[in-house]
Amino acid sequence: DADVTQTPRNRITKTGKRIMLECSQTKGHDRMYWYRQDPGLGLRLIYYSFDVKDINKGEISDGYSVSRQAQAKFSLSLESAIPNQTALYFCATSEANEKLFFGSGTQLSVL
């Protein structure tokens, strides 16, 4: 089984719909992250969490919210999806100041 699991792998939704992307990890790390990847723009940080009670905005948090339900679970929500949120989304985990381990990604398309 993968250390960092993202669900769903692919999602197509319509403008204005609420959508949640889920991430779970078995590595026992405290820190979790959500990134989005767009062609030509690279990976950009949306939110990160040091632990269950500590959540922080990243570079591009507008239009997104997150929930850290447990040490192992970190979900990303789009309250009202719009087409420019079409992207590949990655969840990642790390120990403090160490390398990040990434999930396999969720390809989201907003029509």
101 binds other proteins (CB under 8 A): yes
24 binds other proteins (CB under 8 A): no
65 binds other proteins (CB under 8 A): no
- From 21-29, 67-75, 77-85, 94-102, span contacting other proteins (CB under 8 A): 94-102
Residue 43 burial by CB count (10 A; 0-12/13-18/19+): exposed, middle or buried?
middle
Cis before residue 8, ω within 30 degrees of 0?
A: yes
Write down the residue that tokens 């160490």 correspond to: 98
Neighbours of 72 (CB within 10 A): 18
Tokens of 32: 């979790």
99 binds other proteins (CB under 8 A): yes
Tokens of 20: 């949640």
4 binds other proteins (CB under 8 A): yes
11, 106 contact by CB (below 8 A):
yes
105 binds other proteins (CB under 8 A): yes
Query: Of these, 58, 71, 73, 77, which contacts other proteins (CB under 8 A)?
Result: 58
List of residues contacting other proteins (CB under 8 A): 4, 31, 33, 40-45, 48, 50, 56, 58, 90, 92, 97-105, 107
